[in-house]
Amino acid sequence: MTVESTAPRKPRRSSGTKRTSARRTPQQQSSEPQLVQLLTPEGERVEHPEYEIDLTPEELRGLYRDMVLTRRFDAEATSLQRQGELGLWASLLGQEAAQIGSGRALHDDDYVFPTYREHGVAWVRGVDPTNLLGMFRGVNHGGWDPGTNNFHLYTIVIGSQTLHAVGYAMGVAKDGADSAVIAYFGDGASSQGDVAESFTFAAVYNAPVVFFCQNNQWAISEPTEKQMRVPLYQRAQGYGFPGVRVDGNDVLACLAVTRSALERARRGEGPMLVEAFTYRMGAHTTSDDPTKYRADEETESWRAKDPILRLRRLLEREGHADEAYFTGLEEESEALGKRVREAVRAMPDPDRLAIFDHVYADGSALVDEERAQFAAYQASFADSADSAEGGK
Amino acid sequence: MAVQKLPLAKAINESLRKALETDPKVLIMGEDVGKLGGVFRVTDGLQKDFGEGRVIDTPLAESGIVGTAIGLALRGYRPVVEIQFDGFVFPAYDQIVTQLAKMHARALGKIKMPVVIRIPYGGGIGAVEHHSESPEALFAHVAGLKIVSPSTSSDAYWMMQQAILSDDPVIFFEPKRRYWDKSEVDPEAIPGPLHKARVALSGSDLTLAAYGPMVKVCLEAAAAAAEEGKSLEVLDLRSISPIDFDTVQTSVEKTGRLVVVHEAPVFYGSGAEIAARITERCFYQLEAPVLRVGGFHAPYPPARLEDEYLPGLDRVLDAVDRSLAY
Ligand SMILES: Cc1ncc(C[n+]2csc(CCOP(=O)(O)OP(=O)(O)O)c2C)c(N)n1
């Protein structure tokens, strides 16, 4: 096998679970860079010498459901933006396998540091999807308590969160805890100094962190050639930890590789870089126009590798799901869409004095003074107006 | 290009085009500035016409963008770099503050730093976090940097030319919510100096001083005040560092009252500097303390609250009334 990977061999797990399908080996030949793949675009299981996975039919259906519901949520958010209910939306369309696969590899006590696009990871962490929409609607800058689901707030400044993840992981190690930390970032973000510094710190302090880069081929209009000249996962080697490229549209491979990387971190063997090779099928955000820089043929060729379709083919091929299952899931999707739509439309604007909330944990005389002045100013409208228009 | 009405963004585009045509040492650098033409299309079409060697898509690394621009300037180039949004300049802050600003002084004047840093700034477009900030005071505090902000298409066009010609580093704050406002540009005009303030409207009762996105608000406030019989003078400072205090002083000596308006937080903001200097210079002419209208000492709020946060017509007029009541 010539799969390029600087990853260590995973210790064999003794598995009592019955394997769910026959595997083909070796990997299918393709013109793409070599990557870890366990499920072909045609939905066939393949072997990989270093990464194994045994999933029950129920677990496979679970991954499928996660991806379908995440995509439905994402589509709903996109249309809510079009309807003016959200100011902006960053769609994950095409990246469901990378997010669900890596997300389902996490333990409850692991900690996640996302970018602004990790809606699928949020889903598997149990963050209510409607919570993700507040910042895109413009009613808050976060909207959930990171401690509840060990899922940090979205970070818009690219790359910053990788350092936070490493610091958190350093803390985990100091505490002697056996949990791990995962930091998500994009191919474009990999150019930021913060990301390079996070690699350095992680290596030097042997931090239990997995760097999970979703290489979706684009950073707004800039293709990966404008960010790097060697495959991204190889960068890890220069810092002294392993890196591996995984088929980011293959949920099984993303799960297996991330699980292995997290286990390694938990065993105290330090950081690892996982590059999920995937594709951003939609626009960068709803403000972006990819026709300015991207060829339709490219998008079409990736559409053929759709992560959801691929798993569906496996489920059908192996007879793990029948028509009733798919219909039921379709209904569940519709219900989710409806719930999200209604929740967003009902989401109130914050009180105007909320501007002054939480500026300091200890409070601030200056903030109090400005709040009082602003409140008095607002009240002056309510007094002078016939209606209560100016107040709130 | 003939005299024409242009959106402010297009005026900058034309100005960059002219600079690229005139001087082969001028380079454009930044994220998405090539094929996409920048997220606001300010560099639209420039890569197509001048090639990837002159209009350079950079890796996503602001420290890298400014740091390499410094090196290119040392080598005789005149880089004009784009920071995609105000809130993303901070990875480059170290390079700007510790290196770019001080290079000329450290070399005892032997080297020049003709670097322009373009930053779309300010709020009012309903954006998410880090896309609406006004960090000008953070830069103005640093000696060695020139900081300017145009409010009209003509100024955008001409001030960009002057910024590129300057041998000092210039931070060019572009009022992003005015990008689509159209006004006249005369490419044959003879522009005033980059640092000079402009009297945008003459008046006699009170002076409003503003720059960038707030000039329009102040002109609207002056129009509203005029209906109530008050005559306001509106100054467009144009340059935030240095500040043309002479023009402000002349105006205040006439009106006796000054209100400074900006989007940035008032606390430690440019209004504080103007208030202090003008109080020194015009202590005996002032009829009222210099008042400031601006943002609060709070993070820029989520989009649904930005109309409350940003100084609008009413808040400017409120300050005018308070000043006139002294
Ligand atoms: C420091 C910083 N610079 C610029 C931006 C503007 N910006 C937002 S997303 C983005 C592209 C990021 O691409 P990538 O890291 O590949 O992630 P993707 O959005 O493709 O998931 C840019 C340039 C930013 N958010 N932060």
In this predicted structure, what is the pLDDT of residue B1? 83
pLDDT at position A33 is: 57
| Interfacial B residues in 90-149 facing A (CB < 8 Å) | 90-91, 126-131
**Does A215 reach chain B within 8 Å, measured CB to CB?**
no
Instruction: Report CA torsion sign: A129, A131, A137, A141.
Output: negative
Residue with more model confidence, B291 or A227: B291
With CB atoms and an 8 Å threshold, state whether A220 touches B36: yes
Supply the residues of B annotated as catalytic: 131
| CA–CA separation, B20 and B23 (whole Å) | 6
- Tokens in use for A313? 């083919």
Q: Which atom of ligand 1 is nearest to the CA of A215?
A: 16
Test B60 with A188 for CB contact under 8 angstroms: yes
Judge contact between A167 and A145, C-beta under 8 A: no
Residue B215, pLDDT > 50, answer yes
A385: closest CA of chain B, how far (Å): 14
Residue A221 near ligand 1, beta carbon < 6 Å: no
Mean pLDDT, residues B312-320 taken together: 97
Statement: residue B106 has pLDDT above 50: yes
Mean pLDDT of successive 10-residue stretches along chain A, which has 392 residues: 43 40 44 81 96 96 98 98 97 98 98 98 97 97 94 98 98 97 98 98 98 98 94 97 98 98 98 98 96 94 97 97 97 98 96 96 98 96 57 36
- A171 C-alpha to ligand 1 centroid (Å): 28
A26 and chain B: CB distance < 8 Å anywhere? Answer: no
CA distance B169 to B151: 20
Task: Say yes or no: CB of residue A288 within 6 Å of ligand 1.
Answer: no
User: Under DSSP, is residue A159 helix (H, G, I), strand (E, B) or coil?
Assistant: coil
Is the CB of A222 inside 8 Å of chain B's CB atoms?
A: yes
| Residue B60 Cα to ligand 1 middle (Å) | 7
What does the H/E/C string look like for chain B?
Answer: CCCEEEEHHHHHHHHHHHHHHHCCCEEEEECCCCCCCCCCCCCCCHHHHHCCCCEEECCCCHHHHHHHHHHHHHCCCEEEEECCCHHHCHHHHHHHHHHHCCHHHHCCCCCCCCCEEEEEECCCCCCCCCCCCCCHHHHHCCCCCEEECCCCHHHHHHHHHHHHHCCCCEEEEEEHHHCCCEEEECCCCCCCCCCCCEEEECCCCEEEEECCCHHHHHHHHHHHHHHCCCCEEEEECCEEECCCHHHHHHHHHHHCCEEEEEEEECCCCHHHHHHHHHHHHCCCCCCCCCEEEEECCCCCCCHHHHHHHCCCHHHHHHHHHHHHCC
With a 6 Å cutoff on the Cβ, whether A158 touches ligand 1 is yes
Which of the residues B176, B296, B314, B315 would you substitute to probe the A interface, choosing the one with the greatest number of A C-beta atoms within 10 Å?
A: B296
**Residue B292 phi, psi dihedral angles, 5° rounding:** -125, 140
Interface size A-B, in CB pairs within 8 Å, comes to 116
Percent of chain B with pLDDT over 70: 100
Instruction: Provide mean pLDDT across the span B291-307.
Output: 98
pLDDT score of A385: 53
Task: Show Cβ contacts of residue B136 under 8 Å, excluding neighbours closer than 6 positions.
Answer: B121, B147, B149, B171, B173, B240, B262, B264, B270
> Does the predicted interface ipTM exceed a cut of 0.90?
yes
Q: Is the CB of A280 under 6 A from ligand 1?
A: yes
Whether residues B64 and A219 touch (CB distance < 8 A) is answered with no
| Least Cα separation, residue A374 to chain B (angstroms) | 9
pLDDT digits (tens, 9 = 90+) for B6-23: 999 999 999 999 999 999
Q: Model's pTM, two decimal places?
A: 0.93
Which residues does chain A have within 8 Å of residue B298's beta carbon, measured at their own beta carbons?
355-356, 359, 367, 370
Q: What is the pLDDT of residue A143?
A: 84
B117-142 pLDDT, tens digit each: 999 999 999 999 999 999 999 999 99
Tell me the chain B residues in contact with residue A287 when contact means C-beta distances shorter than 8 Å.
39
Cβ of A220 and B127 within 8 Å?
no
The reported pLDDT for the residue numbered A388 is 43
- Chain B's closest residue to A196, CA to CA, is B61
